[in-house]
Amino acid sequence: MCRPAYIVSLCTCIFSFFCSHFLIPRFPKTLPLFQFFFRLSLLGGGIGIAVCQPNLRSLTLFAVAIISPSIFIDTTLSSLAVHCSALVLYVLMGRNVIAPDIYYWGLNNYMLFSVFGLLIGNAINKERFERYVYAEYEKQLAEVQMRYAYFDRMTGLRNRHSFEDKLTQLSENPPAELCIIMADINGLKTTNDTIGHKAGDELITGASECLSGPFEGIETIYRIGGDEFCIIMNAPIEKAQLCLSRLDKLTAIWHGSYIDSLSVSTGVASIKDHDDVESVFAQADNNMYEHKSNYYKSLGVDRSYH
What is the DSSP annotation of 49-89?
HHHS---HHHHHHHHHHHHHHHHHT---HHHHHHHHHHHHH
- pLDDT recorded at residue 29: 75
C-alpha–C-alpha distance, residues 248 and 18, integer Å: 46
pLDDT value at 1 more than 60: no
Write down the mean pLDDT value for the chain: 76
Distance CA(65)–CA(39), nearest Å, equals 8
pLDDT of amino acid 97: 47
Name which of 99, 120, 104 is nearest 41 in CA terms: 120
63 or 186, greater pLDDT: 186
pLDDT at 172 over 60: yes
Q: Please, are residues 222 and 163 in contact by the beta-carbon 8 Å criterion?
A: yes
pLDDT tops 60 at residue 281: yes
Q: What is the pLDDT at residue 300?
A: 81
Give residue 275's pLDDT: 86
Instruction: For residue 80, report the phi and psi dihedrals to the nearest 5 degrees.
Output: -65, -40
Instruction: Please report the pLDDT score of residue 98 as a whole number.
Output: 47
Torsion of CA 113, 118, 120, 126, to 10 degrees: 180
CA distance 248 to 207: 11
One-letter amino acid for residue 44 of the chain? G
173-176, Cβ contacts within 8 angstroms, sequence gap of 24 or more: 174/271, 174/276, 174/277, 175/234, 175/271, 176/271
Residue type, 74: D
Neighbours of 133 (CB within 10 A): 15
Q: What percent of the chain has pLDDT over 90?
A: 39
Pairing relationship of beta strands 264-270 and 228-234 according to DSSP bridges: unpaired
Q: What is the pLDDT of residues 199-257, one digit of tens each?
A: 999 999 999 999 998 887 656 899 999 999 999 999 899 999 999 999 999 999 999 99
Instruction: For residues 247 and 266, give the distance between their C-alpha atoms in angstroms, rounded to a whole number.
Output: 10
Q: What is the mean pLDDT of the segment spanning 52-76?
A: 58
Instruction: Flag whether pLDDT at 186 surpasses 80.
Output: yes
DSSP tag of 266:
E
> At the fourth CATH level, which superfamily is domain 160-305?
Reverse transcriptase/Diguanylate cyclase domain (3.30.70.270)
Residue ranges of the domains in the chain?
A: 3-150, 160-305
Q: How far apart are CA 208 and CA 189, in angstroms?
A: 17
* Per-residue confidence (pLDDT) for residue 121, from 0 to 100: 54
Q: Which tens digit of pLDDT belongs to each residue from 66-117?
A: 556 555 555 455 555 665 565 555 555 555 544 444 444 455 555 555 555 5
pTM beyond cutoff 0.75: no
